[in-house]
Structure 1
Amino acid sequence: MMLNGQGADLSLLIWNSSISILVFSFVCYLATFRQTVLFTLTITLSLLVTVQFSFQPSFDSISIMGFSKLMLLLPLGLGVILGFGLFSESIQKRFLPLFTLYINFAVLANIFAMMFAPSGDTYRGVFSRITCFTLLIWLVQEMAKVNFQTTHMDSKMFLFRSSPLHWIYCHAAYRMALLSLPTFASIRFILLEPFSLIAMVVLYHWHNKRYPLYYYFGFADTIAVTTLTVLARYPVLPPFPSKGPYFPNLQEYQWDMVFLPIQFLVTGFALWAIFQNLSVKRSIPIENPSKLSAR
């Protein structure tokens, strides 16, 4: 937490941002070149979190929700993706439909759950539910274009094929507004959107541009969300006392004035995309992965 009555602590912001960048860069490297190591670290951390939670003297709704979120992100999120990539190609082909069904459910359920994020008595918080709903419908349409066969594995690299770049950019703008709500009090998450987009480009290049850029967003976003959530739960404390300088935080109505126009634009574009998809009314043939890899 970097907010107090005086505003945001700039020194803490720089420290936490630096730590986040270093850790995230390391995780991206492992996700591309050392998936087995990252899978081992993910499962080990999951076990440590479970043991720590089990030995708590008392349980409340906040601790239970925090533990549940980490379990969804670590073993049931990043862990599942990495673990599936470690199987042989024959096993991957055999269980790909089941894996795809799991991923589709997880993606849609996560976005649907965001519709119920506390609004914090703000206009942007209320309107974010409308924006989220339009993005959800748009994504379902994109998934339907490939008959919900949305996933592919190539050299242990997880690829999600149904989030076009326009949707990714709209989702980034929507989530920036969402993360400005009082519920998300840590400024650490200010790095989430840059991390997701940069990691998408990095994975794309590290994977030798074998597939379209947007195929890498699902994996990149999973890495970004998981890394920042773990660092928010277990922060690396600075070796110096926190004494500022501080910069003032905006009032909630001021944040509304900043993000409501962005939400209007995102919602409008999402509605346009939805109606465009409805007007086309045709299925897009599923591309052959071997042809894509030749690009």
Structure 2
Amino acid sequence: MITVVIPAKNEAGRITTVLQNVATLPIDHIILIINGTTDTTLQEVLNLPIDKLQIIYFHECLGIDVPRAIGAKMAYSLGSDVVLFVDGDMVGTFNENLVELIEGIQLKHLDMALTNCYPSPPRHIERYNPTFQWRYNVTHELGLDKKLGLATPAHGPHAVSRRLLESIPLQELSIPPVSLALARLSKLRIDVATTIPHYRLGSSVKNYIHSNKIIDTIVGDCLEAIAVFHGKPRTRQWQNKTYSGYHTARRFDLLENFLGTTKQT
């Protein structure tokens, strides 16, 4: 059984395209996590005639990445063998790549199938973005740098196996680099299954303030992942700076309550 998990917050005008694209895939369920939206996202999707679609609505904002863990729990409870994650703002046309991610789990027996979003070196301006160095730092520490390069579950669509969901705590999917580190510690199979250059994702363009907070979030997540991999206390600090970003807005309390009230099947 194959389930697609799509988090969406304020994606009116985009979410219909994402859902219509995904609905044409050979899948069984689409779980849409509407995450503290303040626009007409919910009204828009309620009018879509997609039989596979299940909607989980949270009035309060769960924070970045937390909806993935919510969706993974629901997918697991449905009996899914493959869980595919696609962000609700990715309006690009890349269904053939999503099929490759699914096949990475089904046919290549991967437990985490990732997307390479940078088949060419990042542009000159992007090289000043510290997330690229820290993504590489993570894969290097995990001994996967030659295999994964800059690929990470924090960027681009990716898929995981049921075995992965049974091997690591589901709440750790809320910090994607940590889920990667735990998968490695569990000796699960991780590899790049497809390539989608970043520009083809069709993700919405964010403002400067948002971009800086995302950078701090990802760097902090990578620092946590490295600490977890080496069995050390978690930290988001590097050279006298704490990289919080959006991390402090992650509602782990709501996630814990949800996971605690939905029994593992």
Asked if TM exceeds 0.5, the reply is no
Question: Normalized per residue, which structure has more helix?
Answer: 1
Tell me the TM-score normalized by structure 1: 0.24
Tell me the TM-score normalized by structure 2: 0.26
Q: Could you say which structure has the larger radius of gyration?
A: 1
